Amino acid sequence: MTPSRREQLVIYARPGTHGTTVIARRHELTIDEAPRYGGHDSGANPVEHLLAGIAAASLVVLRLLGEDAIAESAALTVSARLNVDRVMGTDDSATIELIDLDWEVANTTHAERLRAALPHLANRRPGQALIDAASAHTEKVSIRESAPADE
């Protein structure tokens, strides 16, 4: 049996002029908070970056599952309800109360194929533990209104 491949991922974070500068390989990101939380709003906040990672990882894994056509035409919205008081240390409820993944696909064929693929996607998606740790989560598929019935 061949051992599974592993890849070490490393990011570097340091305080920036406004927010935090994060470097991943040769890519630089600015992560910041809204002014109401002491930031300058010069970048998406850390939780928004987590949600962006879930969305991007979902599309990548969908491609790995052989559903390239769906991944290339789908739109995915990931939203979460964050318990800010938990982050601030004044509440002990779940940090993320709800995560919704809303897929919009081109047609009924794509919708059926995506619904069939969702359990496999969840089994392989990096970031699934964050989704599972939320108090509640949903993942639903809808068909783009302007799309033809089938390809």
List the chain domain ranges: 8-43, 45-143
Which tokens is 2 given? 């061949």
Instruction: Determine the pLDDT at residue 3.
Output: 86
Give the predicted TM-score (pTM) of the model.
0.89
User: Which residue shows structure tokens 């059926």?
Assistant: 112
Distant-in-sequence, close-in-space partners of 147: CB < 8 Å, separation ≥ 6: 105, 106, 107
Angle at 148 between CA 105 and CA 141, to 5 degrees: 20
Sign, CA dihedral 81-86-90-91, equals positive
Instruction: Determine the pLDDT at residue 1.
Output: 80
Query: Which bin fits 25, alpha (ψ -120 to 50), beta or left (φ > 0)?
Result: left
CB 75 within 8 A of CB 103: yes
Superfamily of domain 45-143: K homology (KH) domain (3.30.300.20)
Instruction: Determine the pLDDT at residue 81.
Output: 96
What is the Cα–Cα distance from 126 to 85, expressed in whole angstroms? 27
Instruction: Determine the pLDDT at residue 147.
Output: 47
CB 108 within 8 A of CB 149: yes
Edge to edge, the sheet with strand 96-105 lists 75-82, 96-105, 136-143
Instruction: Determine the pLDDT at residue 149.
Output: 52
pLDDT average per 10 residues of sequence, the chain (151 residues): 91 94 96 94 96 97 97 97 94 95 97 98 96 95 73 48
Instruction: Determine the pLDDT at residue 110.
Output: 97
What is the Cα–Cα distance from 145 to 12, expressed in whole angstroms? 42
